[in-house]
Amino acid sequence: MAAMLQPSIILLKEGTDTSQGKPQLISNINACIAVVDVVRTTLGPRGMDKLIHDDKGTTISNDGATIMKLLDVVHPGAKVLVDIAKSQDAEVGDGTTTVVVLAGELLREAKPFVEENVHPQLIIRSFRTAADLAVQKIKEIAVSIEGKSIEEKKSLLEKCASTTLSSKLVGGEKEFFAKMVVEAVTDMGEDRGLKMIGVKKVPGGTMRDSFLVNGVAFKKTFSYAGFEQQPKKFDNPSILLLNIELELKSEKENAEIRLSDPSQYQSIVDAEWNIIYDKLDKCVKSGAKVVLSRLAIGDLATQYFADRDIFCAGRVVEEDLQRVARATGGAVQTSVNNLIPDVLGSCERFEEKQVGNERFNIFTGCPTGETATIVLRGGADQFIDEAERSLHDAIMIVRRALKNSTVVAGGGAIDMEISRYLRQHARTIPGKAQLFINAFAKALEVIPRQLCDNAGFDATDVLNKLRQKHALPSGEGALYGVDINTGGITDTYANFVWEPAVVKINAITAAAEAAALVLSVDETIRNPKSESAQGEAAANAMAGRGRGMGGMMGRGRGRGMRRR
């Protein structure tokens, strides 16, 4: 008997928390479902907003990625959902709530199978197969907008932008903003860098007071005396962009200069003035009428330029300076030597204009036409911030639709069609995989169901009607989705509820990957190393304080006795 007893093996440090097996897997799924329940009500045109209050202030938003970032999720399994929301936001800009809700529903459908001891790898394999089939189906039924005229293309892109904006806080003015976004994106160059579209926020006025500048606009920078004497309007000015200070620089306080003759002091002072005047003179001789610098332009330089009818602005934000350079064709200079005409930018019109309580410097008629600026107006700061986030989504969608020019019907139509297709495909498969692909198909129905729930409609009734339409053998019901206005169903493609195919493809792929990742984890190990180290440090500190106090008390007693 003694020989049979095996000595116990201590593998992990004492205090290590390990959770494993089926309970751990179900715990992770439950955590993900809890996160999904936070954001599911934000889906669709009738989705509710979330008010999140933290150290940085108050944020009101229904953008999935923004909410997930601000939630500060601590559960290691549920963090996967935060990551896929960020990934969707970075890749396509919209569909962040969709991808989280879809991933959560896939896990909800997988949970009963896990509880019945089905091996997670079987579910994962089937989910990946179903995701591949879904992506193929989307590509088949997507409609291309390639080969259309510019006007037609703009009209189609406006429909995509309107669909995105309909679920946002600015949904009431979606046509107004959709037109603005499409114009901003289509007027830009081929590379369509997101940083080339600036969004400036000015509190006050109504949303309709927002406007688009086909060029660059930025808030008036900090200015010195003499600024008001400068001209505020120019036609066809040359623009000089600098990254140097135009200030009178004196020596540092601790500099030591030994002079043998007091008259030499004046020559040192004169040298400082000569340096700054030489720089300013070179700027003027370049022929520039507008001088912008990333660093400060001091009061001497401001007055110098004002006397010569030149406009200047110092401390221009790096991003704005780069957009001016891109728009006007100028190059940012780090020296005033050799200011040849090639390094100067130009535009048709420059003016300083009052917008609300702010003054803006506006450059229009730029030769490259590769930048645009949207100036947003509105009541509360939180409202304008949410409008900016909404426009970011719309801009991303229009850029993606231009690059990958295929669209699908929105409003849950594409989800129901893929669901029907996967159910049919599942019937041709023997074994357990049939059940798992059916579960994937059922999970896709969460999108139209949630759209109905958020709008206060009877989801069961609407889904039954949709299933009936999509099951028609002729395929004529493939474009039917939820009608948010009436609570029934409608041909969403005919009603211009469109979204780029890339949004759906990315959402389904990312959701399937997230579900597979969560299902593949069967053990969590929490390492107590850092916690114990912190505990020891805290204990030592306490002990040290205790000794210190004891010592002080002892000294106090001693002194007291001596005094007595």
* Catalytic residue list: 63, 96-97, 393
Give 163-216 as a DSSP string: HHHHTSTTGGGHHHHHHHHHHHHHTS-SS--GGGEEEEEEEBS-GGG-EEESEE
Residue 27 token pair: 């715990």
Residue 213's closest CA among 199, 225, 224?
199
Residue given tokens 């003054």 in the structure block: 359
Of the candidates 328, 82, 301, 298, the residue with the CA atom closest to the CA atom of residue 216: 328
Size (the chain), residues: 564
DSSP run (H or E) holding 179? helix 174-186
- Sheet bearing 372-378, strands edge to edge: 197-203, 372-378, 211-213
d(CA 88, CA 394): 14
Contact (Cβ atoms closer than 8 angstroms) between residue 125 and residue 112: no
Q: Answer yes or no: are the C-beta atoms of 367 and 347 closer than 8 Å.
A: yes
- Residue 489 main-chain phi, psi, to 5 deg: -125, 155
Contact 31, 82 (CB under 8 A): no
Burial, 421: exposed, middle or buried (Cβ in 10 Å; 0-12, 13-18, 19+)?
A: buried
Tell me how many degrees the CA angle 469-473-474 measures, rounded to the nearest 5.
90
Closest CA to 81 of 102, 109, 112: 102
Q: What are phi and psi of 216, to 5 degrees?
A: -125, 140
Residue 88 tokens read as: 């969707």
